């Protein structure tokens, strides 16, 4: 727990030195752009991706680069879970006047409860034969917090994993 907190603080300190100015963002466009990047790298050949954005979400005010990285990391996580192909469903819905929810649900191998407890820890690998750094979901967790959001994960082993990101319609720092 202390290691996770230290690495998270380190990553947030780096992020604070970046230009984190808000932009008006078309959520559908930004998710489609990250999908396109992975498609060009031939990572999505055997994976179908569905995208649904509620009509009551036109734009949000947030940090574009942060959201791009969050969505890219969640795409990569889903790809890793569906190495033999599958389906990833992305849905954005408005939860209330302040927040939207973006879910990434894949029909990959899922994770046991023992992995879910550690999934956002730096250098934690939930799959054997890992090929990443073990930082993707830890960074994602820190970035979501940086924009005033929350992230949760639910999984059923052998069936699916769902990451649910709550994103404020207006990043809290922007209103200060």
**Which residues is 105 bridged to in the sheet?**
89, 162
Does 21 or 118 have the greater pLDDT score?
118
| pLDDT of res. 156 | 93
How far from 66 is each of 19, 70, 73, 106, 161, CA to CA, in Å?
10, 6, 11, 22, 22
For residue 74, what is the DSSP state? H
b/e per residue 62-81 (b: at least 16 CB within 10 A): bbeebbbbbbbbbbbbbbbb
Q: 113-165, pLDDT tens digit by residue? A: 888 888 888 776 665 444 556 678 988 999 999 899 999 999 999 899 999 99
The predicted pLDDT at position 128 comes to: 46
Non-local (6+) Cβ contacts of 17 within 8 A are none
């Amino acid at each position: 727990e202390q290691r996770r907190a230290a690495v998270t603080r380190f990553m947030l300190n780096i992020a604070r030195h970046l230009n984190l100015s808000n932009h008006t963002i078309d959520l559908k466009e930004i998710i489609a752009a990250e999908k396109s990047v992975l498609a060009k790298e031939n990572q999505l050949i055997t994976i179908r991706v569905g995208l649904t954005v509620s009509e009551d979400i036109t734009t949000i005010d947030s940090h574009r680069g942060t959201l791009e990285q969050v969505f890219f990391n969640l795409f990569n996580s889903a790809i890793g879970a569906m190495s033999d192909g599958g389906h990833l469903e992305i849905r954005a819905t408005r939860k209330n006047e302040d927040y939207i929810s973006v879910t990434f649900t894949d029909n990959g191998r899922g994770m046991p409860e023992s992995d879910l407890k550690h999934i956002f820890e730096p250098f934690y690998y939930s799959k054997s034969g890992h090929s990443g750094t073990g930082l993707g979901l830890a960074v994602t967790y820190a970035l979501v917090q940086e924009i005033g959001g929350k992230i949760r994960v639910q999984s059923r082993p052998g069936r699916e994993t769902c990451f649910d990101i709550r994103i404020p319609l207006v990043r809290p720092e922007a209103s200060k």
